[in-house]
Amino acid sequence: MSGAPAATTGIPAAVLDAHVVVDRGEFVLDAELRAPLGVTALLGPNGSGKTTALLGLAGLVGLARGHVRLGEEQWEGDARGRAPEQRSVGLVLAEPMLFPHLTLLDNVAFGPRARGMPRARARERAREELGRVGLADLARRRPGEVSSGQAQRAALARALATDPELLLLDEPLSALDPETRSRTRADLSHRLRDYPGVTVLTTHDPLDALTLADQLVFLEGGRVTQTGTPGEVVGRPRTAYVASLVGLNLLSGILVQKDPGWAVRLASSELALADPPAGAGEGDEVWATVNPEAVALFTDRPETSARNLWRLTVDSVTVTGQRARIHLSGEVSLVAEVTLGAVAALGITTGQQLWAAVKATEIHTYPA
């Protein structure tokens, strides 16, 4: 839900402290980004400004306003600015962008060499970095002679060979096929655990974010809409995008006391609750999440003890593996997740009307 306040929670002291404002004409990025040591994932839909934010941190696009500080160092702001090459940054893009005519070893040695390290030491450093990403045996190959996942690992080694204080990874796994992606994700996770600096990585993929990152920052329309640890975000999503990414239904409304019990008054329906949320009272705005697996579907009005029952229309059906997600709308918009067997048994098709039931105990609420 755009316009929701950015929510920040108990993350360690920020080491990267930036306010990145970039004016691209029709699009303006205005994002405050704080990242502690460890991995911060920047997530957002296409065009939300993730790449622009990374380029702003690296000094590769100019800021209209704002600042970039890393620890005690001011990289940008207060009329001071460091050129990109004066920033201690390692950058990895979706495409590895290795020099095709150089071996992996020389590709990785290039950064230390360019910073004045003698050739033999730079090669030694490169060998060490290639070893850390499992490429010691391929050091003499050229980029065209290795797989896409291996090339991406070499790009990571190249970025780390200069011992950057800030590592920026822009969709580092997005160009890989699914199998390579999952193996490279594991290698990346392993290598990042040993990297002592601040990593900011952009991704669309919740699996990348949840497996690689200590902290998540969501960007929507150029603004930060939510930050938190993976656990905090999964437990309390605050925008429809965040909720859908973590696979939950998110509804918002006003908490009302009923006789007996409590409910959330939605735009055109109500959600009966088992318990009111801690920290909220009558009349307060609250969020409610419903796991799609907790939405039971019926073709005929069921005899059910579930206190939430609606007749809804099937808008679309998406299948992943053996399960299907049924997008429903009507008095409420909900996604239900059922087995393919249930899709067949209920004969689910687009446009069909179904009864959807959710037990009050399956609704998780928290203050907005």
Ligand X SMILES: Nc1ncnc2c1ncn2[C@@H]1O[C@H](COP(=O)(O)OP(=O)(O)OP(=O)(O)O)[C@@H](O)[C@H]1O
In the complex with ligand X, which residue's Cβ is closer, 89 or 286? 89
Least distance from ligand X to the Cβ atom of residue 123, Å: 35
* C-alpha to C-alpha distance for 233 and 209, rounded to whole angstroms: 11
- How far apart are alpha carbons 209 and 185 in whole angstroms? 10
Q: Which residue's CB is nearer to ligand X, number 52 or number 150?
A: 52
Rounded alpha-carbon distances, angstroms, from residue 121 to 54, 116, 186, 309: 30, 10, 29, 70
The SS3 assignment for 99 reads coil
Q: How far is the CB of 225 from ligand X (least distance, A)?
A: 13
Q: How far is the CB of 57 from ligand X (least distance, A)?
A: 12
To ligand X, the closest distance from the beta carbon of 33 in angstroms equals: 13
Least distance (Å) between residue 24 CB and ligand X: 4
HSE toward the beta carbon, residue 101, CA cutoff 13 A: 0
158 Cβ neighbours under 8 A, 6+ residues apart: 90, 98, 107, 108, 110, 111, 129
Q: Which is nearer to ligand X, 46 or 305 (CB)?
A: 46
> Residue 204 CB, nearest distance to ligand X (Å)?
6
Closer by beta carbon to ligand X, 241 or else 262: 241
Nearer to ligand X, 43 or 354 (CB): 43
Q: To the nearest whole angstrom, how small is the minimum distance from the Cβ of residue 43 to ligand X? A: 9
Least distance to ligand X from the beta carbon of 201, Å?
Answer: 12
CA atoms of 64 and 77, how far apart (whole Å): 10
Residue with Cβ nearer ligand X (35 or 332): 35
Nearer to ligand X, 51 or 308 (CB): 51
Question: For the purposes of burial, counting CB atoms within 10 Å of the CB of 136, is it exposed (0-12), middle (13-18) or buried (19 or more)?
Answer: middle
Neighbours of 92 (CB within 10 A): 24
CB 111 within 8 A of CB 158: yes
Whose Cβ is closer to ligand X: residue 49's or residue 276's?
Answer: 49
User: Counting beta carbons within 10 angstroms of the beta carbon of residue 344, is it exposed (0 to 12), middle (13 to 18) or buried (19 or more)?
Assistant: exposed
> Which residues here bind ligand X, judged by CB under 6 A?
24-25, 27, 44, 46-52
Amino acid at 9: T
359 vs 194: CA distance, rounded Å? 45
CB closer to ligand X, 201 vs 233: 201
The CA distance from 367 to 282, in Å, is 11
What order do you get walking across the sheet with 16-23 strand by strand?
Answer: 28-35, 16-23, 65-70, 73-77, 80-81
- Least distance from ligand X to the Cβ atom of residue 207, Å: 16
From the list 51, 43, 50, the residue with the least C-alpha distance to 239 is 43
